Amino acid sequence: MRRLSLSVVVAALLLAGATPASPLAPSPASAHSGCAATDRDGRGERLVGLAREVKRELGLNSVLFRVTIRGKEVVTAALGHSMTGVPADTRMHFRNGGVAISYLTHTLLQLVQEGRVGLDDPIARWFPKLPHGDKITLRMLGSTTSGLADYATDPAFLEALHDDPFRQWTRRELVAISTAEPLWYEPGANWSYSHANFQLLGRALEKITGTDLATLLRKRVLRPFGLRETRSDTTPAIPGPVLHAFTSERGPYEESTYWNPSWSIARGAVMTTDICDLARSAEAIGSGELLSPASYRTMLDPGTVGLGGPTDRCPETVCRAQTEERHYGLGNVILNSWVVQNPLFNGFAAQQSYLPSRGIAIAVATTVGPDSPTGNTASTVARRLAEVLAPDQPLG
């Protein structure tokens, strides 16, 4: 239970030896338009060697990664195995979890640009019966400063998730867990991650536009970004080929590929992707492609810098001081100017990272072996790659 709880919290912020794919061989990713795997200048070979080293150090089953600089590919590679005897492949699909949060907030900022809503509109406009809805704004949902308790830290929820990881959860029952508790702090006065914020934001976007969330995100984000291998689903299905996940969160090391992710984010934003789309997503989100300059600045800091820290009700593990170097933007983590999303749940770990000043995009997905450490191992790989690509701007 401790490991399960840790994974749930880390997922908010931010999964044995095998024959690795040759970094210089033609990649299966060539099937994706604009995502051919090549190694033009030798950096790719160096990065593959580094990723292989980290894979060995952490005891990972697989590492999929792609690096681009100003849209040009440096390397795309798959190391290790998906299942015993099944090599990892750059075409494999995996869950992207909190990456979809960036899509929710990008959509919100587009609607603000169009004058259809204001970031500081209270959510009571769409949720008149929600406790404290008159004090909580759309901005607070997107920046996760609402003060709403996080249902993913609730002991009863964690026990239910532990007992039945295949359960289908509804937005109503998840938000009810959060609103049954007192606010952790006055809305807007502090920062703490709460999954409830994005359950509500997803539903608010549906009400604002009159469009179901999956269709809305496909129209406003996935298609404009060219994310052909990224899709929403209402079931735990993953399109083939599949990167299989394993975890020890419940004690024994077991397969978790098809555990139900319905609790993780709003219905319609539960998505799968591949490594090429993840790199494209990092670039498109990190550069604010669909946003005005003013909206892009808001995405990078919606007012979170300088907020809070722990209180009597909200410990340091939950309420964290936000600084210019390390803070939560609107749907993204900002780490030393890198724009980041780092999902970790149900045995899947990933990270998309973009450094705007240099146009560097790093996308990583990992799966763990039985002796791998806890925490987001994809973040470890991304950080090590960034040390080579931008040694003066650490990713972390």
Tokens of 45: 């070979």
Alpha carbon of 249 to those of 174, 191, 254: distances in Å? 21, 27, 9
User: Residue 344 belongs to what H/E stretch?
Assistant: strand 344-345
Q: Give pLDDT tens digits along the chain (396 positions).
A: 334 443 444 334 442 333 223 222 333 333 344 465 555 568 899 999 999 999 999 999 999 999 999 999 999 999 999 999 999 999 999 999 999 999 999 999 999 999 999 999 999 999 999 999 999 999 999 999 999 999 999 999 999 999 999 999 999 999 999 999 999 999 999 999 999 999 999 999 999 999 999 999 999 999 999 999 999 999 999 999 999 999 999 999 999 999 999 999 999 999 999 999 999 999 999 999 999 999 999 999 999 999 989 988 888 888 999 999 999 999 999 999 999 999 999 999 999 999 999 999 999 999 999 999 999 999 999 999 999 999 999 998
Kindly list the domain boundaries of the chain, sorted by start residue.
2-115+213-389
Say how far apart CA 111 and CA 119 lie, in whole Å: 9
Bond preceding residue 236 cis, omega within 30 of 0: no
Domain spanning 2-115+213-389: CATH superfamily: DD-peptidase/beta-lactamase superfamily (3.40.710.10)
Residue 26, class by beta-carbon neighbours within 10 Å (0-12 exposed, 13-18 middle, 19+ buried)? exposed
Q: Is pTM, for the whole model, over 0.75?
A: yes
- The answer for residues whose C-beta is within 8 angstroms of residue 79's C-beta and 6 or more apart is 18, 20, 21, 48, 51, 52, 55, 62, 63, 64, 88
Phi, psi of 70 (to 5 degrees): 50, 45
Radius of gyration of the chain (CA): 20
**Contact between 376 and 46 (Cβ < 8 Å):** no
With 0-12 CB in 10 A as exposed, 13-18 as middle and 19+ as buried, what is 85? Answer: exposed
Cα dihedral: 167, 170, 172, 177 (round 10): 30
Q: Which two tokens stand for residue 171?
A: 């937005």
Report d(CA 396, CA 105) in Å as an integer.
Answer: 22
Cβ–Cβ under 8 Å, residues 151 and 217: no
Per the CB < 8 A criterion, the answer to whether 395 and 342 are in contact is no
The residues with which 5 forms a beta bridge, in sequence order, are none
